[in-house]
Amino acid sequence: MKLDILAIGAHPDDVELGCGATIAKEVSNGKKVGIIDLTRGELGTRGTAETRDVEASKSAEILGVHSRVNMKFADGFFVNDKIHQLEIIKMIRYYKPELVICNAIDDRHIDHGKGSQLVSDACFLSGLIKIETRLDGGLNQEPWRPKAVYHYIQWKDIEPDVVVDVTGFISKKMESVLAYETQFYDPKSEEPETPISSKNFTDSIAYRARNLGRLVGVEHAEGYTVERYAAVDSLFDLK
Ligand SMILES: [Zn+2]
């Protein structure tokens, strides 16, 4: 299946928090978007891998994405090595995405920066013809390198290189985030408090989008860092 955008996160919910509104907007524009979660988030303090599976598929439905798969790498302990890179390369060659969006380049959770570098490296390697891969014992896969890799912003306030106007899509984003009922603010939950289960954190997701929007003269925006300069045909193409 050919995708326009492949959004990847270390944990189910990373993609929603980082770029949920951008995804909802592109889906509404008719783009084909898929999500890959690297792990099942099994080390998360609240909920279980099973509850996260259910929440992730509910959220995928809310966002209207075309596919969502889980790589089942080890939460907290996966590494950026040849074995993991090859698994990601197989998925990139299968989906042939024009764009890949992935974790923040640096963050509080060690899996975020690690996942970011792993996906970025796999996107490069995926374009090399001499790396041979087969998905599920099928035919040799063609090399494929996405046109660009963008990194969303997570816990830390990273200065974006480019922002996307997501006005009109913030409520869809928040709905997809809150599909992870075990993870976020819920005054009725009896599970331990975590940094992301506070009301402050949930509020910060919506507020960051509002603040980035304010800075570029729109209602809401999501920010990204780039791996090479973002180029336009004309300066008039920029908002
Ligand atoms: Zn995460």
> Which one-letter amino acid corresponds to residue 96?
K
DSSP bridge partners of 224: 152, 162
The contacts of residue 10 (CB under 8 Å, 6+ apart) are: 37, 38, 39, 75, 78, 103, 109, 111, 112, 114, 115
Phi, psi angle pair for 35, to nearest 5° = -120, 140
- Selected from 3.30.1330.10, 3.30.420.40, 3.10.20.30, 3.40.50.10320, the CATH number assigned to the domain covering 5-237 reads 3.40.50.10320
CB 106 within 8 A of CB 11: no
Q: How far is the CA of 158 from the centre of ligand 1 (A)?
A: 16
Residue % of the chain over a pLDDT of 90: 90
Using one digit for the tens of pLDDT, what is the confidence trace for 21-51?
999 999 999 999 999 999 999 999 999 999 9
CA distance 227 to 34: 21
- Among 139, 119, 106, smallest CA distance to 36 is for 119
Q: How far is the CA of 212 from the centre of ligand 1 (A)?
A: 21
Using one digit for the tens of pLDDT, what is the confidence trace for 137-185?
889 999 999 999 999 999 999 999 999 999 999 999 999 999 999 998 8
Domain limits of the chain? 5-237
Radius of gyration of the chain (CA): 17
Q: How far is the CA of 235 from the centre of ligand 1 (A)?
A: 35
Q: How far is the CA of 15 from the centre of ligand 1 (A)?
A: 9
Question: Residues for the chain: how many in total?
Answer: 239
- Per-residue pLDDT, averaged over 71-94, amounts to 98
CA distance 95 to 84: 17
Residue 54 binned pLDDT confidence (cut-offs 50, 70, 90): very high
Q: How far is the CA of 165 from the centre of ligand 1 (A)?
A: 23
Q: What is the pLDDT of residue 129?
A: 97
Q: What is the pLDDT of residue 88?
A: 98
